[in-house]
Amino acid sequence: MQHDVRGLELTTVSAAATRHIDQAVSDFLNYLTTASAEVKSALAEDPDFVLALCFRGYFLMMLENRAVLPKVHETLDRMKPHLDAVTPRERLHARALEAWATGDLASACLAWEELLTEAPRDLLALKLHHTMTFYTGRSHVLRAVVSSVLGAWDASVPGYGYVQGMYAYALEENGDYAAAERWGREAFDANPEDLWAIHSVAHVMEMQGRSAEGTKWLDYSQDNWAHKNPFKAHVWWHAALFLLAQGDYERALNLYDNELVSVNSPAYVDVSNQASLLKRLEIAGVDVGDRWDVLAEHAETRIEDHMLPFRDVHFCLALTARGNLDGARRQIGSMRAFAADNRGWTANVTKSTLIPLCEAIIAYESGEYGKACDLLWPMRNELALIGGSHAQRDLFAQILGDTAVRGSKLSIARSLLAERVARRPSSKGTWLKYSSVLDELGESDLAKRAEQNAATAAEAG
């Protein structure tokens, strides 16, 4: 038996394997590309080390590609003969991995939650819970679970800054912006390399319409994050969103070309961040040229993936934006078969939310704006299930707004835009759209007032 750097028992006799796992957890939380090599080194020292095998399985799952599932199941099979001899904590890791591999995200999260009641300093379990709960869109669970472990942490425990960064994000997603920023900045002070803490503060600025400040907050060079894993592209995506809000489309496109696509490789294309930015630029009236091509070609190879509803909907966006409506319809057919043949969170959300959302996107990209609006409007407040953050899901609100305007559903457009200006009164573009819709509805006094608000709005986009 060994102990990790936070005092948790590890079922291995190898001190070297333990050091590698400690380093793997630290590198993983720090978004370094070296984390999986550390897991490999731990398994080279002790091939039967169950926690290291779980970590291997987790890394495979984080590739979010159906092609890895056989390897994950092989890893689960490898650890099975040893499960009776390991700690309950390590068994719960194995249970979480198994649930995750079968698309049962809620059960995976529950296994990590149960584990954290006994071992609140298990940073790996906390981070995985944070990440995968994020993909179920249950913000309240994010906050509940991070706050439930806080009592076991303080600055004397290695990795405390990461917990502060997670709490910051959980608070932000629950609308507690002042506390979120405080926790996020403290995490950043503890470790200025902590991308999640940087990201949490960026979220606060995004939600509060502080885009000029956000641009300064994320003023990093590409070299600065050269050693970070592809999550950095998501932080660049936030930087591009700040530019978009300020109407600086050229710099947003430059970020796309120089930073966002820099994480793509023959094996991995970061469709979510890239599709999300391109679609927002298009809604803002920007010609994005042939930038969809790479994404649509990649999405065509992932039509039958169904590893995460959030990822699937971005594949659909890429396919339809490029005009591959047949591909998107085939994807929906595959989603239907997947939802019918499987049980668990991913299958349930595919059926309840993902399929109707993708049908709306197909209608939108086919120019059937009225139909798209009819599909999206009733589900607009239930989209959290698809996963991701408020900022990410705002794209679907923007698409809905666009369908209402283009489909001449003016009362709906007015209502959506009223909601939007209330949430982000700093956005000149939103006030102008609101003014135009009010004008079309014959509400000229209100239209004039909205135009005046546009003239003084702090964000030019």
Structure tokens at 414: 């007015």
Residue number with CB closer to Fe ion (246 or 389): 389
Taking the complex as a whole, how short is the minimal distance between the CB of residue 393 and Fe ion, in angstroms?
11
* Among 316, 314, 327, 347, residue whose Cα is nearest residue 106: 347
Taking the complex as a whole, how short is the minimal distance between the CB of residue 58 and Fe ion, in angstroms?
21
Q: Where do contacts with Fe ion occur on this chain (CB under 5 A)?
A: 389
Contact 303, 320 (CB under 8 A): no
The Cα 446–Cα 385 span in angstroms is: 35
Taking the complex as a whole, how short is the minimal distance between the CB of residue 202 and Fe ion, in angstroms?
7
Taking the complex as a whole, how short is the minimal distance between the CB of residue 135 and Fe ion, in angstroms?
12
Taking the complex as a whole, how short is the minimal distance between the CB of residue 214 and Fe ion, in angstroms?
12
* Among 444, 363, 442, 445, residue whose Cα is nearest residue 404: 363
Tell me how far CA of residue 152 lies from CA of 21, 144, 188, 255, in angstroms.
21, 15, 20, 40
The Cα 328–Cα 320 span in angstroms is: 6
How many CA atoms does the CB half-sphere of 264 hold within 13 Å?
A: 16
Taking the complex as a whole, how short is the minimal distance between the CB of residue 121 and Fe ion, in angstroms?
26
The Cα 56–Cα 50 span in angstroms is: 10
Residue number with CB closer to Fe ion (18 or 211): 211
Contact 119, 94 (CB under 8 A): no
Contact 172, 204 (CB under 8 A): yes
Contact 338, 306 (CB under 8 A): yes
Q: Rg of the Cα trace of the chain?
A: 23
Question: In the complex, which residue's CB is closest to Fe ion?
Answer: 389
The Cα 121–Cα 150 span in angstroms is: 9
Residue number with CB closer to Fe ion (276 or 389): 389
Residue number with CB closer to Fe ion (255 or 437): 255
Indicate the SS3 state at residue 228: strand
Taking the complex as a whole, how short is the minimal distance between the CB of residue 388 and Fe ion, in angstroms?
8
Beta-carbon contacts of residue 3 (< 8 Å; ≥ 6 apart) = 9, 10, 18
Taking the complex as a whole, how short is the minimal distance between the CB of residue 391 and Fe ion, in angstroms?
6
The position carrying tokens 């509940």 is 144
